[in-house]
């Protein structure tokens, strides 16, 4: 399988081995216009071969409206604090917390403070 870069990027979205400096990637996201204008921002680190990985930065008060992932997912809170609502359950999660849910589970995410999260979707 070939490993092609994302359009406009020199980095491949999948391959036999990928390494990311998450601190550097977060810094880049926070330097971009979206974050500077008070909006969330994200970058897809890996896509394909049955796994997508997205690094997400959210401003306090921002929310990802109710949606569902096509496969099982995990959300790792790296910094800050979020509220994760899935069906009848609500979890508040801070730094170093990992949340998981099954494919198709409708959920909403609210940033209680500026937050950095790592999202992985399988399938």
Q: For domain 22-122, give the fold.
A: Jelly Rolls (2.60.120)
- pTM as predicted: 0.88
- Strand, coil or helix: what is 16? coil
Q: Locate all alpha helices (DSSP H) within the chain, ordered by sequence.
A: 22-31, 33-36
The confidence score (pLDDT) of residue 112 equals 98
The confidence score (pLDDT) of residue 96 equals 92
The confidence score (pLDDT) of residue 10 equals 67
Q: Which helix (H) or strand (E) holds 56?
A: strand 51-58
The confidence score (pLDDT) of residue 4 equals 38
The confidence score (pLDDT) of residue 12 equals 81
Would you kindly state where each structural domain of the chain is located, as residue ranges?
Answer: 22-122
- Strand, coil or helix: what is 93? strand
The confidence score (pLDDT) of residue 9 equals 55
* pLDDT tens sequence for the chain (123 residues): 333 344 445 678 888 899 999 999 999 999 999 999 989 999 999 999 999 999 999 999 999 999 999 999 999 999 999 999 998 999 999 999 999 999 999 999 999 999 999 999 998
Edge-to-edge strand ranges of the sheet holding 81-86: 63-67, 107-111, 81-86, 89-94
Strand segments, DSSP code E, in 68-114 are: 73-79, 81-86, 89-94, 97-101, 107-111
């Amino acid at each position: 399988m070939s490993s092609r870069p994302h359009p406009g990027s020199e980095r491949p979205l999948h391959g036999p081995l990928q390494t990311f400096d998450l601190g550097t990637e977060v810094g880049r996201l926070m330097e971009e216009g979206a974050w500077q204008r008070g909006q969330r921002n994200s970058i897809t680190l890996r896509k394909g071969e049955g796994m997508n990985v997205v690094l997400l930065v959210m401003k306090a008060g921002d929310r990802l409206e109710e949606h569902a992932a096509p496969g099982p997912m995990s959300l790792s809170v790296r910094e800050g604090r979020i509220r994760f609502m899935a069906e009848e359950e609500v979890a508040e999660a801070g730094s170093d917390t990992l949340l998981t849910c099954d494919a198709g589970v409708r959920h909403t995410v609210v940033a209680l403070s500026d937050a950095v999260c790592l999202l992985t979707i399988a399938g």
